[in-house]
Amino acid sequence: MATGRSNQLIKQVGEYLVACELARRGLLVATFSGNVPDFDLIATDFKGSSCPIQVKTIKGGAWQFSIEKFADITFEGNKQLIGAKKPLSISHLVCVFVLAAEKYGEDQFFVLEWSQVQDILIANYTSWLDSHGGVRPRKPDSLHCSIVQSNLLDHKDNWSIITGRL
């Protein structure tokens, strides 16, 4: 089981890997080490245009979330009902999912709009709930959801989302 220290280390590895990739593309990057609630990095070009970036890093498995941050959820008994999408706190936020490898240079990056993350999570969660009649089998009140690598393949190394904004 991962400890708080190992979680912090993998988070830090992901943020610096993304910062390095963006620096290689000619951007200046500021890291905030978890001190800003909605994003982890700001990338800036030579004209001063900037792009806030959320980084999510894992070494394996799936990226974990809570669906309540992305959609309104109500209950009818144990059945969960998915309502409207929640407004995004930063409408133009970009997310970089990092699959951190053991060996240098084998890391994988998936770059997409935060609104696309929201759409993927809601679609996945809706589909999963529908397959269970709207009731989570083990813990009906759980709002846990996740994204797996196969959900992100169309976004692999899509750095132009960031560079195109600047």
112 token code pair = 């997409």
36 pLDDT band, cuts 50/70/90, is confident
Q: Are 73 and 85 in contact (CB under 8 A)?
A: no
Query: What's the predicted TM-score (pTM) here?
Result: 0.94
Mean pLDDT for the chain? 94
Of all residues in the chain, what percent carry a pLDDT higher than 90? Answer: 86
How many structural domains is the chain composed of?
1
33 pLDDT band, cuts 50/70/90, is confident
Residue 65 is predicted with a pLDDT of: 97
Q: Could you tell me the residue range of the domain that residue 146 belongs to?
A: 4-163
Which CATH number does the domain housing residue 47 bear?
Answer: 3.40.1350.10
Dihedral (Cα; 148, 115, 64, 80), 10-degree rounding? -100
Tell me the C-alpha distance between 126 and 83, whole Å: 10
- Which residues are within 8 A (CB) of 40 and not within 5 positions of it... i.e. 6 or more apart? 15, 18, 31, 32, 34, 53, 54, 55
3-state secondary structure of 51: strand
Residue-wise pLDDT tens digits, 83-133: 999 999 998 999 999 999 989 889 999 999 999 999 999 999 999 999 999
Average pLDDT over residues 136-146: 96
